[in-house]
Amino acid sequence: MNEGYATQGRYGLTAIARAKLSRPVTQAIEDSLIGPGTTVFDYGCGRGGDIARLNDLGVKAEGWDPVHRPASPCVPADVVNIGYVVNVIENPDVRAQALQAAWTLTHRLLIVSARLDWDVAPTATFHGDGVLTAKGTFQKFYRQEELRSWVEEVLSTHSVAASPGIIYVFKDKGLEQSFLLSRVRQRSRLGSRQNFLQREQLLETNRNLLEPLAIFLESRGRLPEVEEIPDSAELVSRFGSLRSALAMAERIADATTWQQSRQSLGDDLLVYLALATFGGRPRYSELSLETQNDVKALFGSHKEACQKADGLLMALGDSERRSRACTERTTGKITPDALYVHVTALPSLPPLLRVYEGCARALTGTITNATLVKLHRDTPKVSYLIYPYFDKEPHPALHVSIRANLKTLDVKYRDFRNFNNPPILHRKETFVGADYPNRSKFDRLTLQEERHGLLDNPASIGTKLTWDARVKAAGWRISGHRLVRIQA
């Protein structure tokens, strides 16, 4: 292993004691890539905080560190984490050796993380290809695409941006495709079962046998294949053939629900296949059996599905079609230059716009605390806007903006938290879907503000100070999500 990197300058000064799981490990857990039954090795584990907490969660975890655990053996594992190690090694060659050493231990997934250029302190002193911090430690700050490109160059393989500063490198290509598909999979839309009971005696008698087939149809938008049917022999015995049993199941399933599921699943697959282009689209044989059946049922063939996905990518390069898709959507707030949509409503967007956002996410990784996504209409840019008090505050202030430029492959970070007069939101109900929990509360406040003329001339109320002044001048204050008259 690469014990030598501890001697590179100031490595031993950088390890910190963590009070919770590190961000890369937390991300992998949230992405269902680490869980019970997964083995984890933390390469450059520092003081071992992640190891202890993973073991507490029932995940077998071990680690090695050249300073804090030099005697611990380096052992292969399903998931290997090299968290914030490469950015503290001064020598570029030793940095690459550390990454390669972690890769040799990896069975299924390598997690690589480093700090990004927007974290550089103004007082930092440039040193080599990085900086010296105020504490005298070395840090190499990467641009997002620079980090991913460097990982791919050193390991000679494709990688996936998990989130800003976190890169996934899969040795298990089946796991990679499952992860990529999970990113675009919409939740199943199960309808009411109230219409299940039918008058026909055959349906009534065999309700327990048919219900799983009906639920399958409602949730996936297609009938199951033979290998997906439980109790197939019993169904043949009762109905004479599987075809007859499936026909019965189709009768008792809610038609609206399964048609919606079919549309949703088809959109999911197109978005998945379009975005899979960036990492090498899988062959049909590399898909899971379930996904193969989905493709065959919805598109007829893998070739046809891929051609439709390619059509989405080609359309994305046409600014007029991007802009038209923004205006024709049913969710989100449209402005002359962009569409703004709450992150929870992204799955309801047309496939073209989902691919648009997915291309940005391929560059930035998942922005876990993003609130709104801004899809620029004329230029190929996507911004992730963070409003941490979106639900609580009636007119929340913007804290952070992260913008991905799909033409230059550049990621820009802007922090508004110390601004005296930050941008704020109005008409919050326009950003969210119809089923958003607080939508009615947002809508009620907007109606009040419209009624009293507070939203007239919207160009002049986009920042906190100008908005507060207008509300006060009109004799109002806002309490919760209600206008309250100021008492004289």
Q: Which CATH number fits the domain that encloses residue 95?
A: 3.40.50.150
Residue with tokens 């309808």: 191
Which residues, including other chains, have CB under 8 Å from residue 389's CB and lie 6 or more apart?
Answer: 396, 397
**Quick one: 163 and 63 in the same domain?**
yes
Q: Do 239 and 276 belong together in one domain? A: no
Q: Are residues 162 and 268 in the same domain?
A: no
In a domain, 196, yes or no: no
pTM: 0.78
Is 177 a member of any domain? no
Closest CA to 145 of 407, 401, 410: 410
State residue 189's pLDDT score: 38
Q: Is 192 part of a structural domain of the chain?
A: no
Strands 410-415 and 400-405: antiparallel
**Looking at the domain assignment, is residue 379 inside a domain?**
yes
pLDDT value of residue 349: 93
Query: What is the number of alpha carbons within 13 Å of residue 239 lying toward its C-beta?
Result: 24
Is there a domain that residue 129 lies in? yes
Ranges of residues in the chain whose predicted pLDDT is under 70 = 1-19, 186-205, 207, 488
Same-domain check for residues 207 and 87? no
Among residues 316, 333, 364, which one ends one of the domains? 316
> Which ranges in 117-169 belong to alpha helices (H)?
144-155
Same domain, 19 and 68: yes
For tokens 């509300």, the residue is 471
The identity of residue 334, as a single letter, is I
d(CA 247, CA 263): 20
Report how far apart, in Å, the C-alpha atoms of 470 and of each of 216, 442, 465 are.
54, 19, 9
Q: What is the sign, positive or negative, of the torsion defined by CA atoms of 285, 291, 292, 298?
A: negative
Domain shared by 274 and 348, yes or no: no
Question: Is the domain of 325 the same as that of 305?
Answer: no
Residues 206 and 264 in one domain: no
Q: Are residues 128 and 32 in the same domain?
A: yes
Residues 329 and 311 in one domain: no
Q: What pLDDT is stored for residue 207 in this prediction?
A: 67
Counted domains in the chain: 5
Q: What is the pLDDT of residue 465?
A: 95
Instruction: Classify residue 165 as left (phi > 0), alpha (psi -120 to 50) or beta.
Output: left
pLDDT value, residue 455: 93
244 and 352 belong to one structural domain: no
Asked if residue 330 and residue 311 are part of one domain, the reply reads no
What does the pLDDT read at residue 5?
Answer: 62
Expressed as residue numbers, the domain containing 81 is 3-171
Predicted local confidence at residue 186, as pLDDT: 58
